């Protein structure tokens, strides 16, 4: 078949030889891409180091650091949805460069992680082989788009030179602790010195030995110090995912209790794992959101995730079975003011005090006959009831908990606590509506002021005491709003009449004075589980000493710790639902690598390497810093380079990347982790910026039509045709249209390569930028692409004769009308560029070009308008702009030229048409001389006979004149 359908804009025999066709576009584009590469057009100089050549040329210019969320190099290649953000940043960076900024813009690859490993397993190749092939393919696809990246700065997280520094940063974190007095991280050696000097006690919960520091053995001291570190080993219930063969961070588990990647079931089970003490930074991560220019939605998600709440911890005494004193139960509440209304207590089923508080026999009194079966679970002995309930709670997956109605369940432990405010004896329950992972895992239940407690109290027939006066006519159950306290006084403290805030303050004072409670802050954020049982990740720079089993950090001089070559890098995975399985890191099989003799200061000794690897997020926690100084082998980044590109720009500025563009799906994972690392590096004096990303922008998603047949199966969207009546057909079958994310599963993928083939890269770039503001999602519509393609053809025709290839521009003077149009356009195009609303810029360029076409239909438009037009096009469609610029006789790349500036003198018209309104309704339009003076304008308008006629016989009460726009007469 000689005739293919791809000949959309292909030259046909009668096509003029110099028409801008896809074929010509391709020639132009590849030529300029080669030249950019050859000349290093986008090489950006640093203040110091190996990339500093030429810095003195730009030293006095403003700087701009533009960053894209770097991609994971997938084996599937790109579709047209992927580069939306990359094109946006490229246009912005090119524009700013033409304004004289020293712009840093590059692109790297986030290449470690599960998908790379899975893809490698599928294709039977080593992950490094597939990863590198995928990166090469992606580089090729992106290069063809004409992105103006400094290719010298590109990195992949899998490069040994890169992950060496990832390991180095891990060591910084490991060798640091959080000084809560100074509210910052400090080197661990400072802590040891202070402990030795006796000027500091070990922090709460870090000394399990119960003896002072001075009396501890060296090994015990090591344990205490390790308990302070920002990276620490911890045995605790973690998210174990047998289907992936690894544990996962909380952030990687969906609310349904499944893995975000792969959607496998996740089980909680206790394991010893590396953790990062991100909770130490919770307050600062929350507070500093206010310094950031980020979308409100993302800030909100981070606030939600951190979940800070202020309240109090209160210890409730308990009554032992023999009538003596039992263990105290510590609870957390955000409503200490409601203490007088606490009529029972609830522990999480997994709470460590449950066994101790479970009495041998049901008490004789205190259980209401009406709900006895519920309280006891129908069991004769409390221990049986508790065991049965616990079994049931642990077997229920989170999914089941979601599906079930929130009918409250629980059982009585048989023991009682004492409400410290009222002295009343109150029963203690376990119930699964209290979670071990939040607060202290125990609550005081105040049914009067809490809906969940109310629901439980109703079912279990427990007393309800209101402690806040509900408003007049309140018919609801629990009242959670504000109001004066009631029923809240004892001999020592009286809250009655106080509103919530004041009541909280008063009761906390009382609790603290009595030593039974104190005001505290709790966060939902947990420490970050940092180890994975996978092969394809950064090895930890950690070994274990066989003598004490404790970890030892490797010194900096032993970095990098390279991944060993092993035969079988596949993870050990299990049946999805095999919750009895144990994680087995693949690196454990590399026995030659694991067993190692090192001299860590005690002479050569056998050690065992850590066989877990770091999570995928590690590499993306700091790549923005490495772009600044990618080849530096003395430091992860030279401080001077960091200060220049990312340092605070003025008093009160947090510093960071000037524009960071990426999808909204990383709201809490990458963005939170990267902020955390950055703050640690800041505390330790390695960076000058407080935050990594000052301005964040979420690009929209490109969606595409997908079609389903009668059976609900997706059919190839390329083959579907729309009929006149608006119905869609696949062959002779009518199909149903829906919109969704582009991808294989919906069979609606459109690739950049198809677009290059039919139109060229400039058209693709222009189309993606034209369909809407960058932050908006929009549907892909292949047949609408031709609109911007025509625009490029028309611009081309205004410069180049399609038959001869000769220039058709003249050297004539501009008429005033065109000059005004030009300057108006320049102002508007700039405005669109500044605000990342490239759609507006393109529309204004189109308008100017339409004007030129109409004014000079047979060519001959003056250079004075054509050249600025080409310059304005340059950031958007750089190849055609370069080509036209060079054909116009310029030697230099258009990238080195200055963006046109609007002349204010030509922004205003000599005469303007203003609207004349009567009471806000437009009644007349008149042309009057332009003026800035409202009084002059009003006079001019009144002088118009049509207006005079309009006002005939009416009383003008007031006239509002807005220069350049309108005059509104308010008439009786």
Partner RNA sequence: GCCGGCGUAGCCCAACGGCAGAGGCGCGUCCCUUAGGAGGACGUCAGUGUGGGUUCGAAUCCCACCGCCGGCACCA
Subset of 731-760 contacting RNA (CB under 7 A): 758-759
Q: Which residues pair with 741 in a beta bridge?
A: 703
- Which of 788, 809, 822, 940 lies at the binding interface for RNA (CB under 7 A)? 788
- 874 to 578, 743, 814, 894, 897: CA distances (angstroms): 58, 31, 22, 7, 10
Q: CB of 902: closest distance to RNA in angstroms?
A: 16
The residue range among 127-135, 374-382, 620-628, 770-778 that interacts with RNA, by the rule CB under 7 A, is 770-778
Q: Does 437 bind RNA (CB under 7 A)?
A: yes
Return the DSSP state at 633.
S
Q: Does 900 bind RNA (CB under 7 A)?
A: no
Q: CB of 753: closest distance to RNA in angstroms?
A: 15
CA–CA distance, 205 with 207 (Å, rounded to integer): 6
- Which of 161, 839, 855, 936 lies at the binding interface for RNA (CB under 7 A)? 839
Of 451-470, binders to RNA (CB under 7 A) are 452, 455
**Closest to RNA by CB, 128 or 524:** 524
- Which of 93, 225, 750, 914 lies at the binding interface for RNA (CB under 7 A)? 914
Q: Does 866 bind RNA (CB under 7 A)?
A: no
CA–CA distance, 449 with 72 (Å, rounded to integer): 49
Q: Does 846 bind RNA (CB under 7 A)?
A: yes
Q: Does 23 bind RNA (CB under 7 A)?
A: no
The residue range among 169-177, 356-364, 764-772, 863-871 that interacts with RNA, by the rule CB under 7 A, is 764-772
CA–CA distance, 81 with 320 (Å, rounded to integer): 65
**Closest to RNA by CB, 255 or 604:** 255
Of 498-537, binders to RNA (CB under 7 A) are 522, 524
The residue range among 136-144, 307-315, 588-596, 943-951 that interacts with RNA, by the rule CB under 7 A, is 307-315
Pair 868, 798: CB distance under 8 Å: no
Q: Does 847 bind RNA (CB under 7 A)?
A: yes
Pair 102, 58: CB distance under 8 Å: yes
Binding mask 242-281 for RNA (x = CB under 7 A): -------------x--------------------------
**Closest to RNA by CB, 12 or 650:** 12
Q: Does 804 bind RNA (CB under 7 A)?
A: no
From the list 2, 12, 21, the residue with the least C-alpha distance to 758 is: 21
The residue range among 501-509, 559-567, 609-617, 767-775 that interacts with RNA, by the rule CB under 7 A, is 767-775
Residues 6+ apart with CB under 8 A from 59: 47
Token duo for residue 220? 């015990």
Q: CB of 129: closest distance to RNA in angstroms?
A: 34
Q: Does 699 bind RNA (CB under 7 A)?
A: no
Phi, psi of 612 (to 5 degrees): -75, 165
Q: Does 364 bind RNA (CB under 7 A)?
A: no
Binding mask 311-340 for RNA (x = CB under 7 A): x--------------------xxxx-----
Q: CB of 459: closest distance to RNA in angstroms?
A: 11
Q: Does 925 bind RNA (CB under 7 A)?
A: yes
Residues 6+ apart with CB under 8 A from 409: 389, 431, 432
The residue range among 115-123, 145-153, 640-648, 919-927 that interacts with RNA, by the rule CB under 7 A, is 919-927
Residues 6+ apart with CB under 8 A from 786: 9, 759
| Exposure string for 490-502, b = 16+ CB within 10 A, e = fewer | eeebebeebebee
Q: Does 856 bind RNA (CB under 7 A)?
A: no
Q: CB of 112: closest distance to RNA in angstroms?
A: 24
Of 372-431, binders to RNA (CB under 7 A) are 401-402, 406, 408-409
**Closest to RNA by CB, 361 or 738:** 738
CA–CA distance, 214 with 220 (Å, rounded to integer): 11
- 603 to 175, 593, 595, 599, 607: CA distances (angstroms): 22, 19, 16, 5, 12
DSSP notation for 480-510? -S---B-S-B-SS-B-TT--HHHHHHHHHHH
- 857 to 791, 809, 811, 853: CA distances (angstroms): 15, 12, 16, 5
Q: CB of 781: closest distance to RNA in angstroms?
A: 6
The residue range among 78-86, 123-131, 269-277, 955-963 that interacts with RNA, by the rule CB under 7 A, is 955-963
From the list 98, 52, 12, the residue with the least C-alpha distance to 900 is: 98
- Which of 55, 362, 438, 906 lies at the binding interface for RNA (CB under 7 A)? 438
The three-state secondary structure class of 846 is helix
Pair 274, 612: CB distance under 8 Å: yes
**Closest to RNA by CB, 552 or 837:** 837
Q: Does 69 bind RNA (CB under 7 A)?
A: no
């Amino acid at each position: 078949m000689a005739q293919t359908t791809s000949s959309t804009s292909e030259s046909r025999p009668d096509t003029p030889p110099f028409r801008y066709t896809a074929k010509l576009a391709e020639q132009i584009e590849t030529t300029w891409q080669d030249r950019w590469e050859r000349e290093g057009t986008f090489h950006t100089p640093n203040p110091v180091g190996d990339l500093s050549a030429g810095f003195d040329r730009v030293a006095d210019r403003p700087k701009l650091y533009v960053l894209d969320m770097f991609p994971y190099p997938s084996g599937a290649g790109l579709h047209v949805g992927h580069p939306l953000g990359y094109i946006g940043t490229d246009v912005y960076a090119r524009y700013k460069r033409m304004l004289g900024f020293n712009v840093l813009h590059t692109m790297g690859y986030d290449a470690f992680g599960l998908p790379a490993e899975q893809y490698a397993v599928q294709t039977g190749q080593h992950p490094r082989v597939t990863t590198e092939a995928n990166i090469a393919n992606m580089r090729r696809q992106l290069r063809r788009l004409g992105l103006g990246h400094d290719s010298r700065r590109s990195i992949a997280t899998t490069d040994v030179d890169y992950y060496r520094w990832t390991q180095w940063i891990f060591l910084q974190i490991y060798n640091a602790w959080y000084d809560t007095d100074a509210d910052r991280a400090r080197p661990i050696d400072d802590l040891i010195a202070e402990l030795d000097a006796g000027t500091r006690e070990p922090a709460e919960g870090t000394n399990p030995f119960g003896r002072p520091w001075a009396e501890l053995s060296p090994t015990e001291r090591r344990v205490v110090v390790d308990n302070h570190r920002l990276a620490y080993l911890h045995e605790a219930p973690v998210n174990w995912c047998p289907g992936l063969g690894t544990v996962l961070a909380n952030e990687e588990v969906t609310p349904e209790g499944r893995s975000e990647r792969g959607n496998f079931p996740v089980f909680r089970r206790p394991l010893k794992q590396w953790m990062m003490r991100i909770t130490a930074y919770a307050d600062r991560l929350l507070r500093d959101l206010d310094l950031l220019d980020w979308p409100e939605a993302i800030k909100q998600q981070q606030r939600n995730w951190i979940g800070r709440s202020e309240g109090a911890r209160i210890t409730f005494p308990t009554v032992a079975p023999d009538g003596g004193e039992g263990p105290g139960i510590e609870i957390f509440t955000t409503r200490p003011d409601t203490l007088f209304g606490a009529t029972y207590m609830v522990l999480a089923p997994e709470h460590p005090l449950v066994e101790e508080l479970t009495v041998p026999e049901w008490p004789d009194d205190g259980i209401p006959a009406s709900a006895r079966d519920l309280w006891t679970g129908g069991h004769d002995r409390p221990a049986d009831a508790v065991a049965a309930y616990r079994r049931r709670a642990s077997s229920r997956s989170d999914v089941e908990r979601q599906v079930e109605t929130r009918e409250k369940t629980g059982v009585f432990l048989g023991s009682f606590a004492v409400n410290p405010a009222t002295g009343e004896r109150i029963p203690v329950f376990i119930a699964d509506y209290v979670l071990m992972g939040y607060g202290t895992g125990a609550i005081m239940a105040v049914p009067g002021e809490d809906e969940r407690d109310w629901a439980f109290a109703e079912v279990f027939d427990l007393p309800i005491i209101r402690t806040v006066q509900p408003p007049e006519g309140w018919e609801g159950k629990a009242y959670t709003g504000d109001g004066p306290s009631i029923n809240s006084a004892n001999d020592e403290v009286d809250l009655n009449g106080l509103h919530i805030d004041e009541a909280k303050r008063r009761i906390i004072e009382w609790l603290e004075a009595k030593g039974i409670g104190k005001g505290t802050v709790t966060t939902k954020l947990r420490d970050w589980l940092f180890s994975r049982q996978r092969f394809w990740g950064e090895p930890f720079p950690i070994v274990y000493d066989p003598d004490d089993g404790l970890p030892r950090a490797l010194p900096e001089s032993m970095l990098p710790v390279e991944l060993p070559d092993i035969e079988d890098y596949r993870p050990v995975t299990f049946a999805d639902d095999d919750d009895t399985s144990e994680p087995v890191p693949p690196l454990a099989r590399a026995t030659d690598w694991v067993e190692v003799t090192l001299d860590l200061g005690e002479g050569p000794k056998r050690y065992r390497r850590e066989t877990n690897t770091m999570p995928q997020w590690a590499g993306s926690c700091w790549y923005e810093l490495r772009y600044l100084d990618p080849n530096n082998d003395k430091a992860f980044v030279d401080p001077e380079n960091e200060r220049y590109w990312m340092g605070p720009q003025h008093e009160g500025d947090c510093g960071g990347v000037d524009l960071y563009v990426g999808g909204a799906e990383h709201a809490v994972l990458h963005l939170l982790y990267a902020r955390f690392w950055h703050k640690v590096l800041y505390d330790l004096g390695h960076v000058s910026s407080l935050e990594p990303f000052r301005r964040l922008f979420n690009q929209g998603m490109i969606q595409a039509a997908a079609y389903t047949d009668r059976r609900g199966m997706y059919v190839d969207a390329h083959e579907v045709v729309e009929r006149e009546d608006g119905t869609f057909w696949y062959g002779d079958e009518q199909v149903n249209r829906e919109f969704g994310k582009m991808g294989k599963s919906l069979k609606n993928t459109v690739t950049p390569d198809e677009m290059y083939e039919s139109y060229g890269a400039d058209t693709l770039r222009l189309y993606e930028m034209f369909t809407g503001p960058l932050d908006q999602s929009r549907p892909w519509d292949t047949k609408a692409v031709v609109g911007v393609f025509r625009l490029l053809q028309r611009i081309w025709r205004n410069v180049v004769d399609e038959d001869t290839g000769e220039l058709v521009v003249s050297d004539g003077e501009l008429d005033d009308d065109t000059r005004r149009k030009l300057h108006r356009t320049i102002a508007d195009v700039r405005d669109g560029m500044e605000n990342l609303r490239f759609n507006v810029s393109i529309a204004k360029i189109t308008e100017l070009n339409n004007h030129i076409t109409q004014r000079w239909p047979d060519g001959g438009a003056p250079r004075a308008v054509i050249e600025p037009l080409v310059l304005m096009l340059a950031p958007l469609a750089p190849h055609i702009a370069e080509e036209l610029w060079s054909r116009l006789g310029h030697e230099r790349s258009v990238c080195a030229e200055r963006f046109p500036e609007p002349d204010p003198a030509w922004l205003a018209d000599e005469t303007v048409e203003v609207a004349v309104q009567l009471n806000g309704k437009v009644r007349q339009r008149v042309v009057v001389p332009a003026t800035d003076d409202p009084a002059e304008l009003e006079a001019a308008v009144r002088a118009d006979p049509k207006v005079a006629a309009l006002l005939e016989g009416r009383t003008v009460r007031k006239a509002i004149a807005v220069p350049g726009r309108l005059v509104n007469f308010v008439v009786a």
